[in-house]
Amino acid sequence: MLNKKPKVSVCIPNYNNGQFIGEAIQSVLNQSYGDFELIIVDNCSTDNSVTEINRFSDPRIKIYKNDKNIGFLKNWNKCISLVNGEYISLLHSDDKYEPDMIKREVEIFDSNPNVGLVFSPVKQIDSKGDCIGYSKSPFNSTRVIKGDDFFKELIMEDHVPTPSVMVRKECYDILGSFDEYVGPPCDWEMWLRVSLYYDVAFISEPLAHYRIHSGCGSFEVCSDLSWNISQYNLLEKTFSTIPIDKKDLLLLKPKSMRSFAKRIVRSSTRYLDNKNPKMLRQNIAFAFAIDESIVLYPGTWAMLFLSCISASLAANIVLLLRKLKKRYPKNPK
């Protein structure tokens, strides 16, 4: 008798997350829904990752080890190429699931054949597992969103936390896997691509934990101009590949680029924290190249002013403003 294919494939791509991967694996094995396979692909880790992975002997686990480090993006795509399930999730090896994560998302898929992607907010945790916040979303209740409507929200800013995402396998089969040209923000581009052809479902309860720590990949890649360039390439590619029957979505491009330019300006405060005013000015210049109307945005001039005074003074001013913002909320009750 042939083995029955699992309903769900959970993929854990890993590189040097031996400190956390045990928690990630255990959170999958603790799921209230059991019809899944767990595919782990180690990308030539040099720490204790393999030892931690080998501690688990559940028959649903399939372990693969790359002969050489192929980079995180190729490793993501390798995971997807190995799956057998109808629905696929990609769990970072330093993140973890809530016990009902798979069950809740499978229920949505099974009752909504037009849905290609399901996601939820995530609880943000630190290296110790303590909660430090929650991801934000433009939606406040569980719902199915028409693909075009979801695209209009997502093209303005990425609000889909990858650890909470589950995708119908046919989406990858038909639309392709993560685009290596796009680089680090490839997940955002993938979710935009799915929303052009499928509906998207949102579950309002946080179903995954996203760990923020100094060693995580997103912490590292978001720290220089190349991250912003990658996002710009992503937006250009997305608008250049919109299907001919959805050309009205091209009207969103100026607004999307303006929103992106403003985000670059707002996020530039981190260069004051790092006492790197030169990088701040480079990012402001890049934002101006994207959308010249950014000169009318008050935050632009505030950032330029702070970049021209001493780095320590600028950092202290930013710190003071953050304290005042907490003390005097915008909409006090």
Domain boundaries, the chain: 8-213, 242-327
Q: What parts of the chain have a pLDDT lower than 70?
A: 1-3, 215-224, 273-274, 309-333
Residue 4 to residue 219: CA distance in whole angstroms:
40
Question: What is the distance, to the nearest Å, from the Cα of residue 26 to the centroid of all Cα atoms in its chain?
Answer: 22
Collapsing DSSP to helix, strand or coil, 182 comes out as coil
Whole-number pLDDT of residue 202: 98
Q: Which tens digits make up the pLDDT trace of 127-142?
A: 999 999 999 999 999 9
* Number of Cβ within a 10 Å radius of residue 238: 23
Residue (of 99, 59, 72) closest to 15 by Cα position: 72
Work out whether strand 166-168 and strand 96-97 pair parallel, antiparallel, or are unpaired: unpaired
Architecture per CATH, domain 8-213, reads as: Alpha-Beta Complex (3.90)
Token pair for residue 242? 């919109």
pTM: 0.88
Question: What is the distance, to the nearest Å, from the Cα of residue 280 to the centroid of all Cα atoms in its chain?
Answer: 24
Q: Residue 282 belongs to what H/E stretch?
A: helix 277-290
Within 13 A of 226's CA, how many CA atoms are on the CB side? 8
* Number of Cβ within a 10 Å radius of residue 242: 18
Distances (CA, A) of 223 to 71, 268, 278: 18, 10, 13
CB neighbour burial string for 173-201, b if at least 16 within 10 angstroms, e if fewer: eeeebbbeebbbbbbbbbbbbbbbebbbb
Q: Indicate the DSSP class of residue 155.
A: T
Whole-number pLDDT of residue 1: 42
Residue 89 to residue 85: CA distance in whole angstroms:
10
